């Protein structure tokens, strides 16, 4: 054998199956290249493992996950009659599937396989070789002890509901919805705002090609509205989510619009006649006004307006009804109530987007105090032909055209006082602004203040060069402050940018009349609540956590819940679209299988031991436990149970056990891990 097998083997051909059990365990310790072998003495661990009871063979190998590594396991199962397999390598999330399949190919029930994670939990966590090696042994020992007690299990098969819920109608959500709908699956698209379109609908031009945002976005919005496979629910919010992958029940609140959608023609007469005018903090980001009955923008989808009850004179003071009077089709209905709708879906794609960083949090830039300091989103609205100034670049007075404009990069980004990360899209947006100013106000001077220009994307660097050639001033230095406190005659009545021009090494004060703050992206204020609602994780900054940052960016740790777009991290339009499509493809791929294999890891209640206390009933997060009133015992419905183990731990009568995690398996594993723990010294208390 050694002739064909270059790997080292500790194989005792005379080993007999352990008396009493007959379990024959094979242990495989992976080097993972240098990842494990640099810190853990893998040969030593394998050699030691070979000496443990029930272990028939123990090997170490460079890459267990390679086909050669897998073949090794298969061969041993067939040639040495192994009936348990332990691999000490990376995390089960990475490769449990790989090795289970290998077992299965060799005819071994895959649930007789056990994995010890000596990489994430060992070699990556320390530089201490001795300690890491010792820990690896303990983990292997625990895995072996558990493996010998494992039972063969058969997977369960459940049907997949072919409908999908997409939450969020920005560009990522729209893309995902359309892809799935075009593939023939039904989609519910739930959007909190009164119209779909998201942030992109506010933009005028998109970098680097400068195509008009509305021109490329509105066709998609219309497609979504008209698609026979899409149920569009705007002005709606998800209240609760129950179930599991393939079978979710989602409760949605459709907020009252106070407009009868079947009658409204979208003529806008009510909007015109409504006497209430308030500042629009949402779509116009505070730069423009809207009525109490309003539509975000002319091409809003759906076309029906909504009534904002907090500002409507009728709702507040019982008088007015102007809209009702003028509406030609009697579509206004002040008595409409919120509706609760339950949706059955197999998968959920979250595309809930981002919020803009609040520039008021950086007082030294003067936003909110100095009138002519604008945020980037305000400026987007200003240059938009459909925005509050109809596309004119003007100061806050609405008339004066600025002559010198400062664009400040990294506001709230790349700053440990706010967000340490780079918001990615703002450098390019800042370049776009510089270009738009040159185009609209040719005589104006533009100063971009930056730390680094991040223009890594297709045709981005070329766009930067174009803006350079247009005569934009680029000053490398993060702006220290924006002030109206003039030091001398040259500065009177201006906004002064105080900055170190780091390429010269000198402090400069540059007078301008308009300042644009490139406020970064941050996660939505309620991101953590939304994450809790859908059962997924958030990182430190509130971005939704993907299963694998590089290889599985749209899938989360919760089966059936996917993410797309800027809710997962700062993104510009192209990446958001790519993720929307990717998420749709993942969902379509799963639905193509129609049935889904589910882990047979389930809880099971021993009716004889159940005292009928019902503690487990309310505890189960999946509502998988029913109570039989007649017999006064609880029972787990296997199709609903996710095997989370909450009930197992809680049952005061120890009546519940989890398949694949039985009490004796877990206790044996713990004892195995503690194999080298000192016996507790017994202290005798001497009587005085």
Partner 1 sequence: MRYGYYPGCSLERNAGAYHTSLMAVAAQLGVEFAEVDDWNCCGATEFIAVNRLRAYALVSRNLALAARQTNGSNGAAKGQLVAPCSACYLNLSKVEHYLSQSPALASGVNNALAAGGLSYEPGSVRVRHLLDVLVNDVGYEKVAARVRRPLHGLRVAPYYGCLVVRPGFQGRFDDPEYPTSLDRLMRTLGATVVDFPLKAHCCGGHMTQISRDVALELIRRLLKNAADYQADMIVTLCPMCQLNLDAFQESVNGLFGTEYRIPILFFTQLMGLAFGLSPAAVGIGKEFVDARPALAKIGAAAPAAAEAAPKRKPRRGDQSLPLPQMPEEEL
Partner 2 sequence: MATSASLSRTSDFFREVVAEAPVDPHLEACLQCGTCGGSCPSGPDMDHTPRALFAMIAAGMRDAVLRSNTPWYCVSCYYCMERCPQEIRITDVMYTLKRMAIKAGYSAQTTAPKAPGFAQTFVDHVENYGRSFELGLITRYYLSHRPLDALKMAPLGMGLLKRKRLDLSPRPIRQIDQLKAILDRAREIDAAHST
Using CB under 8 A, pick the residue from 416, 458, 525, 550 that binds partner 2.
416
Q: How far is the CB of 279 from partner 1 (least distance, A)?
A: 5
Which strand (E) or helix (H) includes residue 432? Answer: helix 426-440
Q: What burial letters (b/e) apply to 366-394, b meaning 16+ CB within 10 Å?
A: bbeeeebbbbbbbbbbbbbeebbbeeebb
Calculate Rg over the CA atoms of the chain: 32
Helices (H), 126-260: 129-147, 171-182, 213-226
Contact (Cβ atoms closer than 8 angstroms) between residue 152 and residue 84: no
- Residues, the chain: 688
For residue 259, state whether it binds ligand SF4 (rule: CB under 6 A): no
Using CB under 8 A, pick the residue from 321, 369, 506, 623 that binds partner 1.
369
Q: How far is the CB of 17 from partner 1 (least distance, A)?
A: 58
Q: Which residues pair with 89 in a beta bridge?
A: 117
Using CB under 6 A, pick the residue from 90, 252, 518, 572 that binds ligand SF4.
518
User: CB-based contacts of 569: which residues, under 8 Å, 6+ apart?
Assistant: 421, 543
Using CB under 8 A, pick the residue from 43, 47, 223, 500 that binds partner 2.
500
Q: How far is the CB of 233 from partner 1 (least distance, A)?
A: 30
Q: Give me the sign of the Cα torsion angle 12, 14, 18, 21.
A: positive
Q: Which is nearer to partner 2, 330 or 420 (CB)?
A: 420
# binding residues, partner 1 (CB under 8 A): 27
Report residue 497: phi and psi, to 5°. -95, 115
Using CB under 8 A, pick the residue from 19, 310, 485, 685 that binds partner 1.
485
Residue 681 burial (10 A CB sphere; 0-12, 13-18, 19+): exposed
Contact (Cβ atoms closer than 8 angstroms) between residue 242 and residue 249: yes
For residue 174, state whether it binds partner 2 (rule: CB under 8 A): no
Using CB under 8 A, pick the residue from 499, 584, 596, 668 that binds partner 2.
499
Select the binding partner of residue 292 from partner 2, partner 1, ligand SF4, none (C-beta < 5 to 8 A, by kind). ligand SF4
Q: How many angstroms separate the CA atoms of 576 and 622, rounded?
A: 32
Q: How far is the CB of 281 from partner 1 (least distance, A)?
A: 7
Mark 19-48 with x for binding to partner 1 (rule: CB under 8 A) and - for no binding: ------------------------------
Residue 56 burial (10 A CB sphere; 0-12, 13-18, 19+): buried
Contact (Cβ atoms closer than 8 angstroms) between residue 148 and residue 113: no
> Cis before residue 6, ω within 30 degrees of 0?
no
Using CB under 8 A, pick the residue from 288, 457, 535, 638 that binds partner 1.
288
Q: How many angstroms separate the CA atoms of 184 and 181, rounded?
A: 5
Quick one: which segment of 312-320, 375-383, 583-591, 640-648 binds ligand SF4 (CB under 6 A)?
Answer: 312-320
Select the binding partner of residue 422 from partner 2, ligand SF4, partner 1, none (C-beta < 5 to 8 A, by kind). ligand SF4
Mark 447-486 with x for binding to partner 2 (rule: CB under 8 A) and - for no binding: ----x------------------------xxxxxx-----
Q: Which is nearer to ligand SF4, 252 or 276 (CB)?
A: 276
Quick one: which segment of 25-33, 242-250, 318-326, 467-475 binds ligand SF4 (CB under 6 A)?
Answer: 318-326
Quick one: which segment of 93-101, 177-185, 349-357, 388-396 binds partner 1 (CB under 8 A)?
Answer: 388-396
Using CB under 6 A, pick the residue from 321, 337, 369, 663 that binds ligand SF4.
321
Residue 678 burial (10 A CB sphere; 0-12, 13-18, 19+): exposed
Report residue 128: phi and psi, to 5°. -85, 105
Q: Which is nearer to partner 2, 316 or 364 (CB)?
A: 364
Interface residues toward ligand SF4, by CB under 6 A: 274, 276, 292-293, 307, 312-314, 320-323, 409-410, 413-414, 422-424, 426-427, 452, 454, 518, 520
Interface residues toward partner 1, by CB under 8 A: 277, 279, 281, 286-289, 360, 363-364, 367-369, 371, 375, 388-389, 394, 396-399, 483-487
Interface residues toward partner 2, by CB under 8 A: 364, 410, 414-417, 451, 476-481, 498-502, 505-507
């Amino acid at each position: 054998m050694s002739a064909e097998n270059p790997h080292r083997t500790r194989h005792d051909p005379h080993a007999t199956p352990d008396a009493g059990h007959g379990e024959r365990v094979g242990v495989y310790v992976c080097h993972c290249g240098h990842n494990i072998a640099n810190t853990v003495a893998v040969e030593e661990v394998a050699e030691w493992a070979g000496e443990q009871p029930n272990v028939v063979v123990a090997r170490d190998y460079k890459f267990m996950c390679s086909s050669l590594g897998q073949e090794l396991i298969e061969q041993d199962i067939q040639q040495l009659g192994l009936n348990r397999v332990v691999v000490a390598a990376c995390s089960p999330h990475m490769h449990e599937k790989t090795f289970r399949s290998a077992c299965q190919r060799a005819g071994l029930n895959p649930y007789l396989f056990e994995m010890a994670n000596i990489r994430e939990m060992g070699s990556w966590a320390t530089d201490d070789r001795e300690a890491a090696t010792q820990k690896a042994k303990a983990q292997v020992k625990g895995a072996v002890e558990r493996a010998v007690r494992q039972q063969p299990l058969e997977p369960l098969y459940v049907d997949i509901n072919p409908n999908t819920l997409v939450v969020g109608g920005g560009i990522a959500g729209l893309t995902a919805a359309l892809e799935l709908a075009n593939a023939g699956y039904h989609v519910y698209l739930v959007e909190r705002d009164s119209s779909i379109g998201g942030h992109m609908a506010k933009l005028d031009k998109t970098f680097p090609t400068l195509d008009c945002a509305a021109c490329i976005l509105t066709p998609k919005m219309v497609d979504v509205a008209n698609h026979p496979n899409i149920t569009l629910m705007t002005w709606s919010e998800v209240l609760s989510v129950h179930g599991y992958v393939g079978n979710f029940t989602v409760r949605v609140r459709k907020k009252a619009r106070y407009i009868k959608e079947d009658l409204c023609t979208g003529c806008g007469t009510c909007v015109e006649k409504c006497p209430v005018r308030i500042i629009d903090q949402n779509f116009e980001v505070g730069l423009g006004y809207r009525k109490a009955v309003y539509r975000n923008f002319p091409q809003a989808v759906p076309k029906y307006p909504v009534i904002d009850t907090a500002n409507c004179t009728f709702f507040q003071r019982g008088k007015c009804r102007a809209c009702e009077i003028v509406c030609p089709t009697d579509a206004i209905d002040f008595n409409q109530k919120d509706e609760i709708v339950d949706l059955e879906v197999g998968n959920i794609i979250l595309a809930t987007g981002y919020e803009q960083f609040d520039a008021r949090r950086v007082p030294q830039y003067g936003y909110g105090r100095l009138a002519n300091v604008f945020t980037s989103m305000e400026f987007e609205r200003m240059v938009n032909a459909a925005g509050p100034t109809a596309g004119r670049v003007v100061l806050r007075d609405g008339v004066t055209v600025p002559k010198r404009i400062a664009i400040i990069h990294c506001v709230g980004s790349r700053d440990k006082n706010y967000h340490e990360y780079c918001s990615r899209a703002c450098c390019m947006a800042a370049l776009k602004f510089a270009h738009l100013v040159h185009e609209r106000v040719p005589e104006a001077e533009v100063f971009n203040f930056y730390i680094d220009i991040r223009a890594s994307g297709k045709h981005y660097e070329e766009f930067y060069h174009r803006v350079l050639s247009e005569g934009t001033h680029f000053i490398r230095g993060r702006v220290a402050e924006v002030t109206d406190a003039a030091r001398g005659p040259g500065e009177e009545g201006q906004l002064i940018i105080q900055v170190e021009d780091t390429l010269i090494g000198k402090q400069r004060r540059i007078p301008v009349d308009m300042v644009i703050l490139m406020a970064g992206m941050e996660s939505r204020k309620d991101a953590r609540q939304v994450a809790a609602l859908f059962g997924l994780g958030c990182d430190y900054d509130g971005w939704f956590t993907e299963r694998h940052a590089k290889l599985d960016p749209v899938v989360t740790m919760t089966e059936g819940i996917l993410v797309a777009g800027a809710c997962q991290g700062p993104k510009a339009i192209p990446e958001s679209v790519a993720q929307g499509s990717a998420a749709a493809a993942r969902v379509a791929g799963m639905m193509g299988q129609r049935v889904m294999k589910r882990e047979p890891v389930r809880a099971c209640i021993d009716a004889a031991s159940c005292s009928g206390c019902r503690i487990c009933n309310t505890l189960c997060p999946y509502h998988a436990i029913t109570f039989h009133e007649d017999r006064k015992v609880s029972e787990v419905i296997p199709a609903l149970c996710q095997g989370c183990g909450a009930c197992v731990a809680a049952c005061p009568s120890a009546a519940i056990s989890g398949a694949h995690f039985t009490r004796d398996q877990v206790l044996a594993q713990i004892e195995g891990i503690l194999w080298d723990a000192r016996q507790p010294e017994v202290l005798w208390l001497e009587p005085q």
